[in-house]
Amino acid sequence: MSEENKIDFNDLQKKAVSHPLVTDKFTADPSAHVFDGKIYIYPSHDIDAGIPFNDNGDHFGMRDYHVYSMNSPDDLKAMDLGKILDIDDVPWAKRQMWAPDIAKKDNKYYFFFPAKDKDDIFRIGVATSNSPIGPFIPEPKYIEGSYSIDPAVFDDNGEFYMYFGGIWGGQLQKYRKNKYNINNDLLSDKESAFGPIVAKMSADMKSFDSEPKEILILDEKGNPLLAGDNKRRYFEGPWVHKFNNKYYLSYSTGDTHYICYAIGENPLGPFHYIGRILEPVIGWTTHHSICEFKGRWFLFYHDSSLSKGVTHLRCMKVVEIFYDRNGHISTVYPYRK
C-alpha cells in the first residue's frame, strides 16, 4: 500500500484478524510445518540493511535464520528456539538469504534456502540436521541446476518436489528453459505469464532428480494466464498442499499484493486458477504457507504493521482458513472494516 504514513496503526492493530507472533525481531515469509505434533515455523529474518528501496529488493538484506515453535496456532506468540543458519556458514553465499522452507525425510531434516552467490545470482542451498531445531550443516555448494528464490518442498507420499521462482528481484525473468541470460527480461502483457518452476528431488534430498520444469496456471477457459493479468498471474512465493486428493498451488501476485491459488490433479500441473486466499496486507510484499494442524487448516503470512509500514521490516501472523463444499478456500480479509 502506498499511503502507510496516513494510517493509524493503533487502529489497524485493533482491526487486524491476527497479531504478530514475534515482536522482538522482524520475521517474514513464514514456512510452517508440523513435526511430532508441534508447529515449527521457519521465517526469513528481516534486518535494516540501510539500503534504499528498489524493485530488485536489495533492501531485503537478510543474513540468517531462526526457528520458532508453537504448541497450537491458537497461541498468541511463537517461541524463538534460536538461530539455525548464518550466511557466514555457507561457503557459496554472498548475501540476501530470503524465504526458506524445510522438509523431513527418514527422521532427517532438510532446510532449503535461497541466497545470492558470489556473482550476485540467486541459487538454492540445503542444510541438514537430525533435529527440527538444528544445528543445521550446509552443503558446501548450492543445488546444481537451482536458481531464483522461494524454495518450497512438498512431500507427496514420499516423493518430494521443490517449487521455486520469483520475478523482478527474484531473477526468474532472466531464465528461459533453465538457462540464464542477463539480457532476458519481463514478458509482454500478451504473452503467457511466467509460472513457478518444479523439480523432483533426488533420494538424498540434496539434488534434483529431474530437470526443472515450468508449471502452467490456466484460466477458466483452459488458457495460460497472461503476463499482463497482474491480479491473477504468478509472481513469487509458491506453496503446494493437498486437500481431498487435489493439489493446491498458492502464490503471491507480487505488485498487486494478493495470495491466490489454483487446483490441479498432479503435483507437476497444470493448475486451474480458482481465486484469492488473502487480500492485500500493509507492506509491499505478501508471502505465506499453509499448514494443517489437528484437522484444522491455517494460513501463515506477514505484514508490516509492527514496523508501522516499513516494507522490509515485517512480522509473521497466522489465521485459520476454511474450505467450502467444492473445496474452495474462503478469502481472508486481514483487517476488519
For cell 490433479, what's the residue? 265
Cell of 54: 528498489
Q: What pTM value is reported for the model?
A: 0.96
Closest CA to 32 of 309, 256, 320: 320
CA distance 58 to 168: 11
Give the pLDDT score at 1: 39
* Ranges of each domain in the chain: 4-321
Give the pLDDT score at 53: 74
**φ, ψ dihedrals at 153, nearest 5°:** -110, 125
**Is the domain 4-321 a CATH 3.30.70.1050 member?**
no
Give the pLDDT score at 307: 94
Give the pLDDT score at 319: 98
Return averaged pLDDT per consecutive 10 residues of the chain, 337 residues in all.
67 94 97 97 90 75 94 94 97 96 97 97 98 97 98 98 98 98 97 98 98 98 98 98 98 98 98 98 96 98 95 95 98 96
Give the pLDDT score at 103: 98
Give the pLDDT score at 321: 98
Would you say 302 and 283 are in contact if contact means Cβ atoms under 8 Å apart?
yes
CA distance 249 to 200: 16
Active-site amino acid positions: 29, 236
Give the pLDDT score at 2: 43
